Amino acid sequence: MKFIGAADIHITDRCPTNRKGDYFGQIMNKFEFILKTAMKTDSKVIVVAGDFFNSAKVKYEVTNRVLSLVQKYNDVRILAVPGQHDLHYHTGGLKNTPLGILETAKAVEILKPDSITEINGVTFMGCGWNEKPSVEADVLLMHLMITKKGELWSGQTNYSTAHAILRKYPWAKCILSGDNHAPHVLRLQNKKLQINCGAVPRSTKSQIGFQPRVHLIDSDDWTSKSIKIPCLPAEDVFDFNKIAVTELKDEAKKEAEAKIAEFISMLPKNQVDKPNFKTILSSVIAHANPKQDVRDIINNIMETI
């Protein structure tokens, strides 16, 4: 059978800081594309590796729109696991959450770490945020930080590599993961697959050149094909003026922090020699060398202390 793998859809009506336009509408267009793509497969199955929604507190209107869209494509079967964004305060339980409502409405099936779902002879099981498998299946769906080779940033902890997760669960023929927004695919010589699906929306400036995608998985030989999700040009959805202003503010903040750190390093370390407030202020004035009118204001205030 062939089925669609996706993750980190992050459905919300709240527009990120660096975006402009109808952000919610654009996410819904991408989600509908995923549903249409699944309709073309023999199984009409989508698996979603967590963070279906961006928050456990999205508006009822958002949940209703998603539910209506899923019902429009009612031949599609959606299997999912919860990510931390689907849960209240990033803890377990789907009670009173948008994803929980979709499950109650039978629009989405939540895979569990201790049970198996079989479709066309292929077995599926899933581990949401902070869950571990207790049964074995052909397809393991996980919301877990998995990278292709190593850490994504210096000092990163609490992640696994694609090779390591395949070694940890050797019974899985395909492990699909979410949480890491950068997609990757690893296929070993023994035909074992590890697919990190990647994010669907482009919400931060680091994703300006990012191409969202879903993955078409074929269980006959455990191969996959990346399918690009259509999206608008970056200049139509990103507010580059706001991004530029933010970058200038960040640079100014770093410069100010560096000057403060430099000044603090000049102060005496010995408790006995530490200056009082007036001495510190005098040192600041000498270091900053402000204009005379600023010096006059400071001197007037100092005379009242």
Q: What is the DSSP string of 90-125?
A: G-S--TTSHHHHHHHTTSSEE--TT--EEETTEEEE
Same domain, 36 and 162: yes
Judgement on whether residues 67 and 173 belong to the same structural domain of the protein: yes
Domain boundary residue among 198, 232, 266?
232
Separation of CA 286 from chain center? 47
> Are 158 and 223 found together in one domain?
yes
Among 203, 232, 261, the domain boundary falls at 232
Which amino acid is residue 298, in one-letter code? I
**How much of the chain is helix, strand and coil, in % rounded to 5?**
35, 20, 45
Together in a domain, 267 and 228:
no
User: 18 with 134, same domain?
Assistant: yes
pLDDT attached to residue 258? 84
pLDDT for residue 268 = 66
The verdict on 172 and 30 lying in the same domain is yes
- Domain end residue (candidates: 172, 207, 232): 232
Find out whether 52 and 99 touch, Cβ atoms under 8 Å: yes
Tens-place pLDDT, residues 251-264: 888 888 888 778 77
Indicate which CATH number applies to the domain containing 38.
Answer: 3.60.21.10
Same domain, yes or no: 169 and 277: no
The number of angstroms, rounded, from the C-alpha of 11 to the middle of its chain's C-alpha atoms is 11
Q: pTM of the predicted model, to two decimals?
A: 0.83
Residues 246 and 206 in one domain: no
Q: Judge if 133 and 273 occupy the same domain.
A: no
Q: Which domain holds residue 248?
A: 240-303
Q: Into how many domains does the chain fold?
A: 2
Percentage of the chain surpassing pLDDT 70?
96
pLDDT at 249: 86
Q: What pLDDT is stored for residue 39 in this prediction?
A: 98
Residues 283, 209, single domain; the answer is no
- Which parts of the chain register pLDDT below 70? 267-275, 305
Q: Does 284 lie in the same domain as 177?
A: no
Interatomic CA distance for residues 97 and 84, integer angstroms? 12
Examine the domain organization and report whether 19 and 106 are in the same domain.
yes
How confident is the model at residue 253, as a pLDDT?
83
